[in-house]
Amino acid sequence: MSFVTPEIAWAPLAPVIIVLGAAAIGILIESFVRTPATRRIVLLTLSVVSLVAAAAVAAVQWATLDGAGTIVLDGMMTVDRQALAWQIVILVFGALGALLFAARTRAGEEAFTPLGSVAPGTAEETLARRKGFQVTEVFPLALFAVGGMMLFTSVTDLIFLFVALEVFSLPLYILVALARRRRFLSHEGALKYFLLGAFSSALFLFGAALLYGATGDTNFVRVSEGIATVTGLDPLILSGAVLVMSGLLFKLGAVPFHSWTPDAYQGAPTPVTAFMAAATKAAATAALLRVSYEALHGLAWELSWLIWTVAILSMLLGTVVALVQTELKRMLAYSSIAHAGFILVALAGFPADALSALPFYLLSYGLATLGAFAVITQVRERGEDGTVLGEATRLGQWAGLGHRSPWLAGAMALFLLSFAGIPLTAGFVGKFVAFSAAMSEGAWPLVLVAVIASAAAAFFYVRLIVLMFLTDVPEGQEDAVEVDHSPLARAVVAITVIGVVLLGIVPGPVLSLFENAGVLLLGAAG
């Protein structure tokens, strides 16, 4: 067997190369620029510039795309409008995330621990803090994650999909562990995320192996051809498909693969939570779509029970458990589980419309998520001596925020209304197109469950709005919470507010862009 060097078309890979290249350069900067403050500025600039540049290149590719798309890397990856749409969405989330990573309080405190390797509460930690150390590695790590996610959306081979999954997951495990405050919680979250993530990777890999065994290939198209030749139920194929889907559903955070979500969301530094919640969900959805439509569409009927069950469980559990949360980040974590259910509703029966509906859904969801967590980073506890402490994430601490800081609370209310799917916000249009996609395949009972879950979910979103606007600050607590103005976090809030409102009132242009993206180069829907 001789090894043939594959022809590589480099141009279609440019956005990914830019991001991963910037990540590599970021690591070098990490070694060569010694002053933490300079390093932070340089890395922030590098991240934002490279992400925006990659998005620009992707946009140019979109405009000049030849036909439906290009197959690159010997069929391991396709660059079609669907992939480019997701890449641009993820790049936007990445850039907003990077801004949030760099945000600091007025006292100059950032969200990350000064030195990840020292144990919490030790003398070394105090020393590192005093010396002004900063883990600026977070920027290249995030870039690696973004690069991996971009690959994840366009890969058309099970093995390469696994590689992409690990490329974006490993940096996230590290990022989750780097919180500056409540470090034990952060470590706990990261460990859970890592262990369960490894477990789900194993499931995915096992499923891929089974599919390979049954069909003789790992390429999506040939897997689907292999599935088509089999008549009746092949246990090998079915279990392989279910395991592969399970691995992806884990990344999506759907029940019963959700248990990492609340701990990771709560423990992670809030900027990481924001980035992870928005971008991981988008990447996981993109991969779910591609695997479903290109490799497993022959099993649409067999897999529909899985999608239905997981969707209903996610919506119900996410909603019901979120109702009783008293911690804000955990509440949003459970709300994200419910949203994973809504995403799966659109996927039920593999309707063609989902290919254009879900990018919009995830864009609107991600913007609101980034915005909401950006607000959370600014609401801080205040110590006895007036110093600004960590984030005030107990629900009760948000009482009366609307009187104290009407604009910030108003922005938060907008994001919550968007989560709840109230008209004139992006979330409503997202829900509308997602539910339309499900209805086009006749999944109306699922849509009915989804709207009932939405109505129940509105309760806990509204509860926070009640707290912020209709409740007075508790007696003696007037000084317990302080709103800390960080220009970067404010910028993120402003951008996401504009995005959520615009997408809610004039979604037309973006919808028609994504309509163009609703074509896969390969597979049944293409």
Give the footprint of another protein on this chain (CB under 8 A). Answer: 417, 420-424, 428-429, 431-433, 435-436, 439-440, 444, 447-448, 451-452, 454-455, 458-459, 462-463, 466, 469-471, 506-508, 511-512, 515
- Report the residue number, 33 or 501, with the smaller CB distance to another protein: 501
User: How near is the Cβ of 352 to another protein at its closest, in Å?
Assistant: 13
- Report the residue number, 498 or 506, with the smaller CB distance to another protein: 506
Report the C-alpha gap between 87 and 515 in whole angstroms: 16
Helices and strands (H and E) in the chain: how many = 20, 5
The DSSP annotation for 312-376 comes to HHHHHHHHHHHHT--BHHHHHHHHHHHHHHHHHHHHTT--TTHHHHHHHHHHHHHHHHHHHHHHH
User: How near is the Cβ of 416 to another protein at its closest, in Å?
Assistant: 11
CB 334 within 8 A of CB 263: no
Chain-centroid distance of CA 321 in Å reads 21
User: How near is the Cβ of 360 to another protein at its closest, in Å?
Assistant: 10
Report the C-alpha gap between 194 and 292 in whole angstroms: 26
Peptide bond into 351 cis (omega under 30): no
Distances (CA, A) of 32 to 29, 36, 48, 131, 134: 5, 11, 20, 18, 15
User: How near is the Cβ of 267 to another protein at its closest, in Å?
Assistant: 31
User: How near is the Cβ of 486 to another protein at its closest, in Å?
Assistant: 25
- Report the residue number, 367 or 447, with the smaller CB distance to another protein: 447
Residues facing 388 on adjacent strands: 382
User: How near is the Cβ of 524 to another protein at its closest, in Å?
Assistant: 21
User: How near is the Cβ of 347 to another protein at its closest, in Å?
Assistant: 16
- Report the residue number, 283 or 464, with the smaller CB distance to another protein: 464
Report the C-alpha gap between 324 and 263 in whole angstroms: 16
Question: DSSP secondary-structure letter at 388?
Answer: E
Question: DSSP secondary-structure letter at 3?
Answer: P
User: How near is the Cβ of 466 to another protein at its closest, in Å?
Assistant: 6
Report the C-alpha gap between 405 and 407 in whole angstroms: 6
- Report the residue number, 406 or 487, with the smaller CB distance to another protein: 406
- Report the residue number, 431 or 490, with the smaller CB distance to another protein: 431
- Report the residue number, 201 or 440, with the smaller CB distance to another protein: 440
CB-based contacts of 378, cutoff 8 Å, min separation 6: 408, 483, 484, 485, 486, 489, 490, 493
- Report the residue number, 146 or 510, with the smaller CB distance to another protein: 510
